[in-house]
Homo-oligomer: A and B are copies of this chain.
Amino acid sequence: MCQLLGMNSLKPARLSFSLEGFLRRGGETDEHADGWGIALYEDRRCQLLIDELPSARSPLAEWIQLYSGRSRNVIAHIRKATQGSISATNCHPFLRHLWGQEWSFAHNGNLDVSKLPAPVCFTPCGQTDSEHAFCLLLDGLFSRFGRQAPGLAQLSQTLAELARLIAAAGSFNFVLSNGEWLFTHRSTELHYLQRAYPFGRAHLLDCPLGIDFSRHNEQDDRMIIVATRPLTDEHWQPLPVGELAVFAEGRRVAC
């Protein structure tokens, strides 16, 4: 199986601390060593970076930690291959364009694609069940809304319906973003955390590294972190099973 990470922040922010712990699970503190990827939204543009190397030993990961800019939304994924060969084509996140927006998606779980329809407008480049499901989500949005992007409420409702249909074919934990909003769905395992004022201290669970967020944040900073398994000793909450969750401007919103 794989692990997921997502961020949605009110203001552009760097994910360095949580990312540090997450990337170590790619071949160092855990077994997810079949490649990794990250989608960093600088403004609404998605910088998608993929590496077949284990994230714990990836020069690209080092480069991101040193040089990447601040983002309002981030999606990252470390892979333990179950369907599809070990290649960059099969690494998450996947990217597609819809309504002049760049959509990125990463999945954890296994889907029986023989139980799913074939995507029509959005077609996969690789062999994974995950990219297949992503294409089905976008197909469903395009078929429902055509060329006009809907508002958040309509979008969330349709995504929830589509996610339910796809989740019937197996296990469907995902993180999805268009650079403005972060959507998640939990079948088996997915947690989230809000960091907001008053900021406190935190320690990574994967390595002896701590941080005092009150020294790095202002009073009006606010962000959500989503991860398959908690990354720190903060107050992580499990997301409800079988539901879509929606995050905007650094908080969870009703959908």
**Distance to closest chain B CB from A130 (angstroms):** 15
Question: Which among B43, B99, B125, B147 is the interface contact of A87 at CB below 8 angstroms?
Answer: B43
A59 CA / B67 CA spacing, docked (Å): 7
Question: Which among B47, B59, B60, B125 is the interface contact of A100 at CB below 8 angstroms?
Answer: B125
Question: Which among B50, B63, B101 is the interface contact of A125 at CB below 8 angstroms?
Answer: B101
> Is A122 an interface residue, CB under 8 A from the partner?
yes
Q: Is the CB of B67 within 8 A of A60?
A: yes
Q: Is the CB of B125 within 8 A of A88?
A: no
Q: Is the CB of B88 within 8 A of A102?
A: no
For A147, the chain B residues whose CB sits under 8 A away are: 120, 123
> Is A42 an interface residue, CB under 8 A from the partner?
yes
A66 CA / B66 CA spacing, docked (Å): 15
Q: How many residues of chain A are within 8 Å of chain B by beta carbon?
A: 30
Cβ-closest chain B residue relative to A142: B121
> Is A217 an interface residue, CB under 8 A from the partner?
no
CB contact under 8 A between A88 and B48, given known A60-B67, A96-B97, A100-B124? no
Q: Is the CB of B43 within 8 A of A88?
A: yes
What per-residue 1/0 map shows which CB atoms of A37-55 lie under 8 Å from chain B? 0000011110111100000
A44 CA / B47 CA spacing, docked (Å): 18
Q: Determine chain A's interface SS by DSSP, over half rule.
A: mixed
For A100, the chain B residues whose CB sits under 8 A away are: 123-125
A41 CA / B66 CA spacing, docked (Å): 25
CB contact under 8 A between A43 and B101, given known A48-B48, A60-B63? no
CB contact under 8 A between A125 and B102, given known A43-B88, A45-B50? yes
> Is A156 an interface residue, CB under 8 A from the partner?
no
For A89, the chain B residues whose CB sits under 8 A away are: 43-45
CB contact under 8 A between A87 and B45, given known A63-B59, A67-B59? yes
For A43, the chain B residues whose CB sits under 8 A away are: 87-89
A250 CA / B49 CA spacing, docked (Å): 27
Q: Which 9 A-B pairs give the minimum distances between C-beta atoms?
A: A45-B88, A45-B89, A59-B67, A63-B63, A100-B123, A100-B125, A42-B88, A96-B97, A100-B124
